[in-house]
Amino acid sequence: MSTGPRNTWDLWARSVPSLARESTLAPCPDPAATATRLAQARLADQYIVYEAAGGVRHFAAGSAVSLTAHADTVTARAAGRTWSSRTDGRPTTVFAAALSALSAAHGASAGGRHFYGWAAFELAHLLHADPGTAGDGPLLHALIPSVEVTLTGAETVVRAVDEAWLRKVEDLLAERTPRQPPAQGTSPERAEHLIAAGTAAYGRAVARTVEDIRAGLLEKAVVSRKVPLPAGAAVDFPATYLAGRRSNAPARSYLLDLGGYRAAGFSPETVLEVEESGRVSTQPLAGTRAYGPDPAENDRRRAELLRDPKEIHEHAVSVRLAWEEMAAVCRPGSVVAEEFMAVRPRGSVQHLASRVTGRLGEGAGPWDAFASLFPAITATGVSKRDALHALARHEAGPRGLYGGAVFRGSTAGALDAALVLRTVIGEGEETWLRAGAGVTAQSSPDREIEETCEKLRSVAPHLRFTAERRRRE
């Protein structure tokens, strides 16, 4: 059904059940394994594991209540009913209005009601470039869960819509870890074979992008390449997530089957972090060198990174634009660089890293900040509009989830959005990896190819497959 926008979201919000039941249990000795086990239980059609700051993990599941935005329409579902409203080209504004109605119906105290979701990269074209290239697929999707589990070092908290959901999760948590059939691993040779796929075509795309930059069309573009996985090998996403998380040190991690996408990822940075108090921050990472088991070699590469003119320029222009995007939604004078050009290890690579913070301005909310900062400048380029046009010319097909965001937020005003990089992604029958590198006037195709290989090694060696198991069954 479709009614006036305000009435639409009020009707939807009143149909969303509250998380009326809560239970506090002892902490789990291995939160990553516990969250993965909850995902493997397939409690509902949709689920997500989201690792937030400090290693706190959230598991959420459900299927009945969701919000989905396309370029022209936002659709809400609850209690077996559907509501929709036109976006007039402003999907994040309408999305925020629906969540505001949810806040009014359920209250914003004590952290509010949480939602989990993703934003596809193509939303960027609607926000910053050519709306006609945003496509007709979903651009934003959020789940308002029927059950939510928070795993910290101090306790395990379960919230659910009713007693049946609560007991179901409590029983799972009380079980001894079940013996799962071992997933088929990835040999080093197979991982390297995957990583090397398509490098020649990528090198040509980098060369064309350098020509565009030297012609003055843009300053920087983050050009990526897609690495399709073999059609006969079904990825075990939970097993991949657990194996990869053991070997990565991400800013955020996530495992999901949500809104048509499956993913397991180890995000090196956040697109933005908004606190209920109105503090907002973003964490641009740009400039890369490999990171491995040899401390001396890591130190050598770190020193090389800190004196490389191309990498420093790439990082500085990213921070400059992030600052400008923050200033557009923050109080005058509140934007500062709390950290500039530190070096952070992220799995198989190390990056130059900065953090820019501010305070939301009067009348601005978390989704205004999201619309300004999305997608991360480190996944697009400078200027963002010109970079998006360049990516449309030099990359084959839409990115989908890659370069977009996976997020957790609350109706009390918090929003935490991880940049989708270092991720294996599935949609329909297709599964793939993707990696990119920042291309500037000083770039060489060989070095940018090498950088994508370094980044892919954060995921490819940890892929786990279910094909052998399915054949046995």
Q: CB neighbours of 19 closer than 8 A, spacing ≥ 6?
A: 113, 147, 148, 159, 160, 161
195 touches 457 (CB < 8 A): yes
Query: Rounded distance, CA 148 to CA 352, Å?
Result: 35
Nearest to 440 by CA among 287, 321, 326: 287
Q: Which amino acid is at 119?
A: A
Query: Rounded distance, CA 166 to CA 160, Å?
Result: 5
Query: Rounded distance, CA 333 to CA 253, Å?
Result: 33
Has 448 been annotated as catalytic? no
Query: Rounded distance, CA 380 to CA 209, Å?
Result: 13
Query: Rounded distance, CA 369 to CA 377, Å?
Result: 14
Q: CB neighbours of 240 closer than 8 A, spacing ≥ 6?
A: 183, 264, 424, 459, 462, 463, 464
Place of tokens 């565009």: 212
Q: CB neighbours of 174 closer than 8 A, spacing ≥ 6?
A: none
Sign of CA dihedral 304, 379, 199, 251: positive
Strands 430-439 and 220-228: antiparallel
- Active-site annotation holder among 51, 269, 395, 454: 269
Query: Rounded distance, CA 184 to CA 182, Å?
Result: 6
| Active site (catalytic) residues | 269
